[in-house]
Amino acid sequence: MLSHEVNESMTRVGRGTPAGELLRRYWQPVAAEAELADDNPKLRIRALGEDLVLFRDGSGRLGLVEEQCCHRSASLFYGFVEDDGIRCPYHGWKYDCTGACIEQPFEPKDSTLKDRVKQRAYPVETLGGMVWAYMGPAPAPLLPRWGQLLREDGVRGIYVQPVLECNWLQVMENSVDPCHTYYLHAHTLMLKGKGNYGAYYYRPIEKMHFEIVEEPNWVGVRKQRIYGGDKAEEEEGHPVIFPNYLLSPQREHIVMHMRLPVDDTHTKVFRYQFTPTVDGSRVEQPVPVPVAYMPPIKDADGAYHMDNFASHDGMAWETQGPITDRARENLGTTDAGIALYRRLLRDQIKRVQDGKDPLGLIRDPQLNEYIDIPVSTGQARVAREGGSVSA
């Protein structure tokens, strides 16, 4: 059970809030590169409670600027993308990718006003087909080079989920809550006559292990399930990568769930999927990485259809409330992973408040050549064998 004050400090993401300041120390996934169309390369982005516009100028540079123009606050989303920046649709002020104002068409020629104003802008980088933003204080750490983004022995795709109507921490806590898979996923699908889809999880969980992992180039919580019954198995485990990623085996795929805190009560999930070739052979990688949009988790009448994992999880997270009230919960032994994750989160908030880097930031390029994070292989084996581990 947590006090209202602690709950607020762990969940709110705005500038100046404890968790908001922590999350701003890490690069955040804001879009798939393929979402920036060639003929209209701009996107409206909401991240950490801030309204932003992502654009690619005519020279191929990416910019991420505050949506409201610093002149008189019209939206730059309706602006004109030009060779060297984006021009506001209202009076034509133009900003480059760093937010510098480079033109004010109707100010006097000798005016210094444009040198005295600046549009808020954030550094952006691309890697693995994703666009990443750094919204914290300079100097930015290195963008992590996870193997999931770099490896070439398979096929990758980015699947964007409909924006969830709940706080980011509910989504993350689910990822250190491994016994939820039995009823929420496997049992639900079994009752719907789709048992094969959840069969891997339809086994008695005998034990669960959790540990905080602290490597030089990432931190997180690794969880491991030990299944009993006639299909007993000890998983190798798979991790939450702090602060807002899950790396998870899903049948023959390895999926990195990238959870962007949109604002206090909305979360956007990019499901970054990699499917390794069985023999380890290299695959030609399309540029940009293809992107697709996942279907709604609810029916037209607003009820969760509960036909797939995304709908199950979305139901659980959203029905906990926009920001769940952790003062009313009663944690059990199965919630040990949640306790570990919260401790990690609170410790990192404290480090930032003390003026230190939180754990998991990378500033040494040698630690960032290729970050390999292993995951359980049981699901891939089951998929190769033709499906079910459970009767």
Other beta carbons within 10 Å of 156: 22
* Integer Cα distance of 42 and 30 in angstroms: 13
Residue 383's binding partner out of ligand FES, Fe ion, none, with CB under 5 to 8 Å set by partner kind: none
| Nearest-approach distance from CB 81 to ligand FES, in angstroms | 15
Q: Is 313 in the site for Fe ion (CB under 5 A)?
A: yes
Closer by beta carbon to ligand FES, 92 or else 321: 92
Burial 198-207 (b: 16+ CB within 10 A, else e): bbbbbbebee
Strand partners, 291: 158
Q: Which is nearer to Fe ion, 161 or 348 (CB)?
A: 161
The Cα 254–Cα 247 span in angstroms is 7
What is the C-alpha separation between 279 and 311, in angstroms, rounded?
33
CB of 91 to ligand FES, least distance (A): 3
Give the binding site for ligand FES (CB under 6 A).
69, 71-72, 74, 88, 90-93
Given Fe ion, ligand FES, none, residue 77, with its beta carbon under 5 to 8 Å by kind, binds none
- The CA distance from 232 to 89, in Å, is 63
User: Strand 80-82 to strand 62-66: parallel, antiparallel, or no bridges (unpaired)?
Assistant: unpaired
**CB under 5 to 8 A by kind: which of Fe ion, ligand FES, none does 93 bind?**
ligand FES
Instruction: Show Cβ contacts of residue 123 under 8 Å, excluding neighbours closer than 6 positions.
Output: 64, 133, 134, 140
C-beta closer to ligand FES: residue 82 or 234: 82
336-353 vs 4-11: helix crossing angle, rounded to 10:
70
CB of 49 to ligand FES, least distance (A): 22
State in angstroms the smallest separation of the CB of 304 from ligand FES: 42
Residue 248 backbone zone (phi > 0: left; psi -120 to 50: alpha; other: beta): beta
Residue nearest to Fe ion (CB): 313
Task: Considering the complex, state which of residue 78 and residue 183 has its C-beta at the smaller distance from ligand FES.
Answer: 78
Cβ proximity to ligand FES: between 77 and 159 the closer is: 77
Q: 3-class DSSP state for residue 267?
A: strand
Partner in contact with 313, chosen from ligand FES, Fe ion, none, beta carbon below 5 to 8 Å by kind: Fe ion
- CB nearer ligand FES, residue 44 or residue 72: 72
Q: In whole angstroms, how close is the CB of 337 to ligand FES at the nearest point?
A: 48
Phi, psi of 224 (to 5 degrees): -145, 135
**90, interface contact from Fe ion, ligand FES, none, CB < 5-8 Å by kind:** ligand FES
Q: How far apart are CA 114 and CA 91, in angstroms?
A: 13
Identify what 200 binds: Fe ion, ligand FES, none; CB under 5 to 8 Å per kind.
Answer: none
Chain positions contacting Fe ion, by CB under 5 A: 313
